Amino acid sequence: MDKGLRITLRKSKIGYPARQAQVLAGLGLRRINHVVVRADTRIIRGMIRKVAHLVDVQQVESEGRE
């Protein structure tokens, strides 16, 4: 099993720079309380760092991820 990150959008992207909205879209987050699981990579961690004030992150064990 690989490690993954469960990312939850907790605050609206409204009122923040368009670049941050693009990062959220890149992570696959669409609306408040939307949850996605992504692989724990340096790229994803960097994206999370850019929008850390809008999301909650938990580390999880993910099955069958490639």
Listing DSSP states for 1-66 in one string gives -EEEEEEEE-S--TTS-HHHHHHHHHHT--STT-EEEEE--HHHHHHHHHTTTTEEEEEEEESS--
Instruction: Look over the chain and give the mean of its residue pLDDT values, rounded to a whole number.
Output: 93
Q: Which residues pair with 58 in a beta bridge?
A: 6
pLDDT number for residue 2: 80
**pLDDT tens, 1-28?**
589 999 999 999 999 999 999 999 999 9
pLDDT number for residue 21: 97
The answer to whether 20 touches 52, Cβ cutoff 8 Å, is no
Instruction: Judge whether residue 66 has pLDDT over 60.
Output: no
pLDDT number for residue 24: 98
Superfamily of domain covering 2-62:
Ribosomal protein L30/L7 (3.30.1390.20)
What pTM does this model have? Answer: 0.88
Token duo for residue 60: 């999880």
Three-class SS state of 25: helix
